[in-house]
Amino acid sequence: MQKGTLPALEHAALGIELGSTRIKAVLTDAANDPVASGSYDWENRHEGNIWTYTLDDIREGLQGAYRDLARDVKEKYGVTLTSVGAIGISAMMHGYMVFDRQGRLLVPFRTWRNNTAAAAADRLTQVFGYHIPARWSVAHLYQAISDGEPHVRDIAFQTTLAGYVHWMLTGRKAVGIGEASGMFPVDPATKQYDARMLALFNGLIADKVPFQAEDVLPEILPAGEEAGRLTPAGAKFLDPTGNLQAGIPLCPPEGDAGTGMVATNSVRRRTGNVSAGTSVFAMIVLERELSKPYPEIDLVTTPAGDLVGMVHCNNCTSDLNAWVELFGEFAKLLGADVPKAGLYDLLYKASEAGDKDCGGLLSYNYVSNENITAVEHGRPLFVRKADNNFTLANFMRCHLYSAFGALKTGCDIMFGAEGVKVDRITGHGGIFKTERVAQSYLAAALGAPVTVMQTAGEGGAWGMAVLANYMLGKRRGERLETYLEERVFKGKEGVTLAPDPADVKGFTQFAQRYAEGLPIVREAVRSMK
């Protein structure tokens, strides 16, 4: 087979994102068009009542995704990948990774899925007058300090998963501002950790540990800055074959929220996006601060440092995926070998024939705890009354609605109680790959038009590559939103669906049933130990 022509690698950007179930690597050309990709499937462990990945898991997964990308480059273009113009690392945000002065991990990585820091989060929210979610890094740190965990006196550095990988590649302890805003509150005016809250936090821990927060938190860098270069050890960490050369510049590492905003051109004020995967979150770039703290709304920033209202739900597609896998097993029993993508298309499209309110059916997709609805542990649940319209179409529609059920709770506060205005909401993630279906249900849930771009399936790894390219090609004074609108998304096609009034009415009925049924899933948590 004739090989294609690989664009000049000195102008190519590599983005890698470590998601909850998949690590993806995307190589783009100077115009931000994907030219090669690779992936590696992985899964978190539940050990010692903690959701975690080991350092070996992280290294092996990172190398696996890069190896798959290098193989794709070799197969498509007949060349060995040895260098690129820039690299960017992204990962699921928040969590707890702490190291001593020798760079040793002090306790197993506690991911964002853990709800073990809820008491600390409540206390910090009270002290700061600012909502601190339980998954944020500062909540985990304060909980460990409050619990008197022995390791806290040895902490020399705290970071996130993206920050850890970046550190391994460059030796630099830095994160992007959007990632930092999910560790500790950031002041949008100074683009640094909030000085007032640092002082309050340091007062809380003064007699308990031999450090102050700013001593252990990573350096903050905005999008467009260089955040170090690939060291020889970092090159080996990413590519143990030795083919990859050191010296490649890296942009600031960002969280999956930031790459979702970039991948959907949603960094300008009055724009927003919904990123749907294992978790789901809506990000709305705000024109002003909210009137008061809300436990359902986190305040973070764009990769450029502008204030964002974020509704983050721990659960989205995991339970839905499990049901699709179950139907796939049944198909095999019938002798039908349906490709996974085709199976999703069949089942998702079948849901469109269902009743607008799902025929009275109800489900909760809580594989893990859900902070938005105050459910402490994961108990996926499907329930119906005997006289409900129990059909395949309603069953699938119910589970697709449920994927956005908790999200609607928080978004209703932003758009309703706070009167937040948004001109454009863009959806991205695998749930939108099937044309129209999940997109129309999300529009119904939010009561607003939703756009899906052709890049929706590329996800955060592509968004991270775009940030790396922004660093490479940034013109003096060019803002990130201008770069995206003029040099990335200009001329790119997207499909926008306005909410159908009948779907809105049906989703509203489902949402009321969803809220009223929450005691059922809480009882499942209590009784199913």
The CATH number assigned to the domain holding 167 equals 3.30.420.40
Query: Is residue 119 one of the residues assigned to a domain?
Result: yes
Helix ranges, 311-391 (H): 318-333, 340-350
> How many domains is the chain built from?
3
Instruction: Give yes or no: residues 301 and 443 share one domain.
Output: yes
Backbone angles phi and psi of 20, in degrees to 5? -70, -35
Gap between the Cα atoms of 224 and 269, Å rounded: 19
Query: Is residue 138 one of the residues assigned to a domain?
Result: yes
What is the residue range of 294's domain? 264-314+423-495
Contact 52, 110 (CB under 8 A): yes
Query: Is residue 170 one of the residues assigned to a domain?
Result: yes
Instruction: Give yes or no: residues 190 and 284 share one domain.
Output: no
Residue 330 Cα distances to 326, 354, 446, angstroms = 6, 21, 34
Instruction: Give yes or no: residues 276 and 387 share one domain.
Output: no
Residue 96 Cα distances to 79, 139, 355, angstroms = 39, 9, 43
Query: Is residue 90 one of the residues assigned to a domain?
Result: yes
Strand partners, 300: 308
Q: What pTM did the predictor assign? A: 0.84
Residue type, 470: Y
CB atoms within 10 A of CB 49: 7
Q: What share of the chain is helix, strand, coil (3-state, %, to 5)?
A: 40, 20, 40
Instruction: Give yes or no: residues 323 and 308 share one domain.
Output: no
Q: Three-class SS of residue 415?
A: helix
Gap between the Cα atoms of 349 and 397, Å rounded: 9
Instruction: Give the DSSP letter of residue 148.
Output: T
**22-28/13-18 β-pairing:** antiparallel
Instruction: Give yes or no: residues 181 and 300 share one domain.
Output: no
Which pLDDT tens digits describe the chain residue by residue (529 residues)? Answer: 456 677 788 889 999 999 988 999 999 999 999 999 999 999 999 999 899 999 999 999 999 999 999 999 999 999 999 999 999 999 999 999 999 999 999 999 999 888 899 999 999 999 999 999 999 999 999 999 999 999 999 999 999 999 999 999 999 999 999 999 999 999 989 999 999 999 999 999 999 999 999 999 999 999 999 999 999 999 999 999 999 999 999 999 999 989 989 988 999 999 999 988 888 989 999 999 999 999 899 999 999 999 999 998 989 999 999 999 999 999 999 999 899 999 999 999 999 999 999 999 999 999 988 988 999 899 999 999 999 999 999 999 999 999 999 999 889 999 989 999 988 899 988 899 899 999 999 999 999 899 998 654 557 899 999 999 999 987 667 899 999 999 899 887 789 999 999 999 999 999 999 999 999 999 999 999 8
